[in-house]
Structure 1
Amino acid sequence: MKKRYAVIAGIAIAIPLSTALSTTRANAAETASAAWATMDADADGSLSPEEVAATPWEAKFDAMDENGDGEVDKDEFQQYMKDMQSSQDSEDA
């Protein structure tokens, strides 16, 4: 059941999240918060590999897990989102 929820969550956030990167920072931050709430299926404050399995985030999990503890906490996720936004801004300039 969790895997099915993760797949649905991944699909549900993939399109809005990708468009958020090309909008304002405020909208991107709001979308990131919504994505977090959707992906953290067990509401434990961190993402496990199982929660992002079969989603667009699965391939990015190791990059998001800055401290290498096998989980992505909200701070790591937000930092990854900021880095993505900065990279996008640099490409647009």
Structure 2
Amino acid sequence: MKKRYAVIAGIAIAIPFGTALSISQATAAETASASWATMDADADGSLSPEEVAGTPWEAKFDEMDKNGDGKVDKDEFQRYMKDMQSSQDSEEQ
């Protein structure tokens, strides 16, 4: 009888946690999109080192700039965010 309650309690805890994780991932994507819009001050479709100065992205700029052209375009930014999320997901497992 106690095992049944433990299983039910485990499921009751796991369901909201899984839902929260999905919401968290969606929120991360929205935050990244909002970050992009805020940082791309000149709205030219790419980020320069000056635009990310003083943000958490400043230290990651070279890592995000995959083609080494001194700018981070939206594709590079999204790819970096996706890679970062994938590495966090694999660490959690």
Equivalence map 1:66-85=2 (5 Å): 66-85=66-85
TM-score relative to the length of structure 1:
0.72
Cα distance change on mapping 1:23 and 1:90 into 2, 3 Å: farther
Q: Find the counterpart in structure 2 of residue 14 from structure 1.
A: none
The unaligned stretches of length 5 or more in structure 2 are 1-20
Q: Displacement, 1:24? A: 3.3
Report if aligned partners of 1:22, 1:88 keep a CA contact under 8 Å in 2: no
The equivalences for 1:1-93 within 5 A come to 24-93=24-93
Q: 1:26 offset after TM fit, Å?
A: 2.0
Residues paired across the two proteins, number: 73
Partner-residue secondary structure (3-state), 1:56: coil
Q: Report the secondary structure of 1:24's partner residue.
A: helix
**Which string of whole-angstrom CA distances, capped at 9 and with x for unpartnered residues, describes residues 32-72 of structure 1?**
11110011011110000000112111110000000000000
Q: Which runs of 4+ in 1 moved over 3 A?
A: 21-24
Structure whose residues are more often helix by fraction: 2
Q: CA deviation at 1:29?
A: 1.4
CA 22–84 in structure 1, closer or farther in 2 if over 3 Å, else same: farther
Shift in Å, 1:27: 1.9
Question: Normalising by the residue count of structure 2, what TM-score does the alignment of the two structures yield?
Answer: 0.72
Structure with the bigger RCO (C-alpha within 8 Å, sep 6+) is: 1
